[in-house]
């Protein structure tokens, strides 16, 4: 092949024109199995870069090595949807001088498209890529090693970054079609041993729960859906991360069969449960911004009706054509919900960052019915509280909260409360749930927050929604 773009990582970085102080970006489709961030940032450190802004679609436990790169001044700013593990703990204690900027997936897509988040060089892991840069998250040869399925969160980066480097562990013959990332957007292709461990995609927040309480909550959420008034032929649905919300779809299946109701599409993070319903003919289309497990990643590779969407097409508030605007029902989890129905999915009740915004505020705002599923308590940590530690999804976007002690409905949606009561479900006042939690755990002491701002939460429209302060020991 002529004019090959295939070079070493070091050469790709040199060619990109990257300078100190610039912004580099990454996607998180390999979730806990990602190898690209650590590999690339390690190389950037080795080459002597300083003061870089790392703009990832999300970061997780596996990115602990970034702590060293922050201490050494290689990374001085981070934008992400989430943070977990030791990195999150260190940042919560004030590791970074500049606050981390947290955006939802739709908010990040919008910010990249509008130029508010400008990316100088994007380093995008891909499961297959040809020598010209046509890249995909799907396997295209018997040598495929790391399969992630949809590359939805990488697509705004590929389109809008000044310079795009695709990193792959399976270089295939041209043309690698169908492609997710177009060769026209790609400057360099780097071949490495492994871009990610696919077996670790379905871990952490998207495990398949066997916890009996999660199953109880999932069954309750299913009853809410079925009796909400939105469970009609042609409805659309999304399930967020968290055992109970992912499992809820299992329990609406029987009702769909019984009543002859079919869904027009399922959106968002696509799971094996969704693929099964699609293959049974119960869900017409799968619109996949992120494949949550191996089954979903395999389905998107072979099924025409299982389509990839970019983060912008998925959840941008700026585009009336984004998919969330057509979404009927979304089931989401929460770390905390307060008595005003505000939700926190980012900062733990101990004040330490331990989660990700994801598509939570995007889908909650634009869907017709948003259902939050969470237990009343996790150990001694209350999930229904007087006021959330950090505001992520405003209460006006949240319609129903399902707990094992009852179902609370936003007073702004009395018609839903009435339907659920008529169906015999236990509808309670959210203030009573918060009081019940307090009666079991007692009154918590105030968290020892410091004066420094370690994180800024942007809403999906580009405005500051909340600040996260450092936590003192």
Partner 1 sequence: MEIKNAVAGTLESGDILVQIAPGEGLQVDLQSSVSAQFGRQIKAVITETLEGLGIADAYVKATDKGALDCTIRARVTAAAVRATGKDVWKD
CB of 405 to partner 1, least distance (A): 14
CB of 86 to partner 1, least distance (A): 16
Residue selected from 441, 452, 453, 462 as contacting partner 1 according to rule CB under 8 A: 441
- 378 lies in the binding site for partner 1 (CB under 8 A): yes
- CA 319, 323, 329: angle at the middle one, nearest 5? 130
What DSSP element (H or E) covers 382? strand 381-382
Site string for partner 1, 335-354 (x = CB under 8 A): --------------xxx---
Beta-bridge mates of residue 377: 382
User: CA 324 to CA 314: how far, in whole Å?
Assistant: 6
Identify which of 316, 332, 464 has the alpha carbon closest to the alpha carbon of residue 402: 332
CB of 286 to partner 1, least distance (A): 34
Residue selected from 379, 424, 451, 463 as contacting partner 1 according to rule CB under 8 A: 379
Of residues 261 and 377, the one with the C-beta less far from partner 1: 377
Residue selected from 380, 387, 396, 461 as contacting partner 1 according to rule CB under 8 A: 380
CB of 90 to partner 1, least distance (A): 17
Residue selected from 2, 258, 442, 463 as contacting partner 1 according to rule CB under 8 A: 442
CB of 352 to partner 1, least distance (A): 9
Of residues 62 and 385, the one with the C-beta less far from partner 1: 385
For 184-209, letters b (16+ CB in 10 Å) and e give ebbbbbbbbebbbbbebbbbbbbeeb
Identify which of 335, 337, 357 has the alpha carbon closest to the alpha carbon of residue 408: 337
Radius of gyration of the chain (CA): 22
Contacts of residue 329, defined as CB under 8 A and 6 or more positions apart, other chains included, come to: 225, 228, 230, 231, 235, 236, 237, 238, 367, 368, 369, 371
Stretch of 23-31, 135-143, 327-335, 374-382 contacting partner 1, by CB under 8 A: 374-382
Residue selected from 17, 411, 444, 450 as contacting partner 1 according to rule CB under 8 A: 444
- 216 lies in the binding site for partner 1 (CB under 8 A): no
Stretch of 118-126, 255-263, 372-380, 455-463 contacting partner 1, by CB under 8 A: 372-380
Residue selected from 142, 193, 258, 445 as contacting partner 1 according to rule CB under 8 A: 445
Stretch of 104-112, 228-236, 246-254, 443-451 contacting partner 1, by CB under 8 A: 443-451
Sort 462 into a burial class: Cβ within 10 Å, 0-12 / 13-18 / 19+. middle
Structure tokens at 148: 């992630």
CB of 440 to partner 1, least distance (A): 6
- 355 lies in the binding site for partner 1 (CB under 8 A): no
User: CA 315 to CA 364: how far, in whole Å?
Assistant: 11
- 448 lies in the binding site for partner 1 (CB under 8 A): yes
- 381 lies in the binding site for partner 1 (CB under 8 A): yes
CB of 334 to partner 1, least distance (A): 18
User: CA 338 to CA 452: how far, in whole Å?
Assistant: 24
Stretch of 188-196, 241-249, 258-266, 379-387 contacting partner 1, by CB under 8 A: 379-387
Of residues 188 and 403, the one with the C-beta less far from partner 1: 403
User: CA 443 to CA 450: how far, in whole Å?
Assistant: 21
CB of 444 to partner 1, least distance (A): 4
Residue selected from 143, 440, 461, 464 as contacting partner 1 according to rule CB under 8 A: 440
User: CA 451 to CA 468: how far, in whole Å?
Assistant: 10
Of residues 233 and 350, the one with the C-beta less far from partner 1: 350
User: CA 246 to CA 259: how far, in whole Å?
Assistant: 22
CB of 336 to partner 1, least distance (A): 12
Of residues 351 and 455, the one with the C-beta less far from partner 1: 351
With contacts defined by CB under 8 A, how many residues of the chain interact with partner 1? 16
Contacts of residue 435, defined as CB under 8 A and 6 or more positions apart, other chains included, come to: none
CB of 465 to partner 1, least distance (A): 24
User: CA 218 to CA 250: how far, in whole Å?
Assistant: 8
Number of Cβ within a 10 Å radius of residue 461:
13
User: CA 150 to CA 387: how far, in whole Å?
Assistant: 36
Structure tokens at 356: 């990700």
- CA 357, 363, 212: angle at the middle one, nearest 5? 70
CB of 443 to partner 1, least distance (A): 8
Of residues 178 and 448, the one with the C-beta less far from partner 1: 448
Name the site residues for partner 1 (rule: CB under 8 A). 349-351, 377-381, 440-442, 444-445, 447-448, 471
């Amino acid at each position: 092949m002529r004019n090959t773009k295939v070079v070493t990582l070091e050469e790709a970085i040199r060619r990109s024109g990257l300078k100190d102080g610039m912004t580099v970006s990454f996607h998180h489709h390999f979730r806990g199995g990602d190898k690209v961030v650590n590999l690339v940032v390690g190389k950037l450190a080795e080459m002597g870069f300083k003061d870089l802004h790392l703009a990832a679609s999300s970061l997780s436990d596996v990115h602990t090595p970034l702590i060293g790169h922050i201490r050494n001044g290689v990374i001085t700013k981070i934008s992400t949807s989430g943070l977990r593990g030791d990195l999150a703990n260190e940042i919560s204690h004030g590791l970074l001088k500049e606050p981390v900027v947290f955006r939802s997936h739709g908010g990040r897509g919008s910010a990249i498209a509008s130029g508010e988040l400008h990316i100088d060089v994007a380093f995008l892991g891909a499961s297959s890529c040809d020598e010209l840069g046509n890249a995909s998250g799907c396997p295209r040869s018997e040598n495929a090693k790391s399969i992630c399925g949809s590359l939805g969160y990488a697509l705004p980066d590929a389109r809008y970054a000044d310079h795009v480097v695709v990193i792959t562990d399976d270089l295939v013959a041209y043309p690698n079609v169908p492609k997710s990332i177009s060769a026209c957007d790609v400057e360099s292709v780097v071949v490495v041993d492994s871009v990610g461990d696919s077996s670790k995609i379905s871990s952490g927040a998207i495990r398949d729960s066997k916890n009996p309480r999660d199953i109880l909550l999932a069954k309750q959420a299913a009853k809410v859906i079925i009796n909400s008034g939105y469970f009609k032929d042609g409805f659309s649905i999304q399930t967020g991360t968290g055992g109970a919300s992912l499992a809820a779809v299992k329990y609406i299946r029987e009702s769909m069969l019984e009543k002859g109701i079919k869904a027009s599409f399922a959106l968002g993070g696509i799971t094996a449960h969704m693929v099964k319903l699609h293959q049974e003919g119960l869900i017409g289309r799968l619109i996949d911004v992120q494949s949550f497990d191996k089954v979903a990643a395999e389905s998107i590779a072979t099924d025409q009706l299982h389509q990839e969407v970019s983060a912008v097409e998925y959840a941008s508030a700026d585009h009336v054509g984004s998919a969330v605007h057509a979404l009927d029902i979304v089931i989401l989890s929460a770390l905390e919900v307060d008595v005003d129905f505000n939700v926190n999915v980012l900062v733990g009740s101990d004040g330490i960052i331990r989660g990700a915004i994801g598509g939570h505020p995007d889908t909650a705002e634009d869907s017709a019915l948003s259902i939050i599923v969470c237990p009343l308590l996790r150990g001694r940590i209350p999930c229904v509280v007087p006021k959330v530690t950090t505001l992520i999804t405003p209460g006006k976007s949240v319609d129903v909260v399902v707990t094992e002690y009852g179902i609370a409905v936003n007073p702004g949606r009395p018609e839903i409360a009435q339907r659920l009561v008529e169906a015999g479900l236990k509808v309670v006042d959210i203030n009573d749930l918060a009081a019940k939690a307090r009666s079991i755990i007692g009154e918590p002491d105030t968290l020892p927050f410091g004066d420094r701002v370690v994180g800024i939460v942007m809403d999906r429209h580009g405005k500051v929604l909340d600040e996260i302060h450092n936590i003192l020991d």
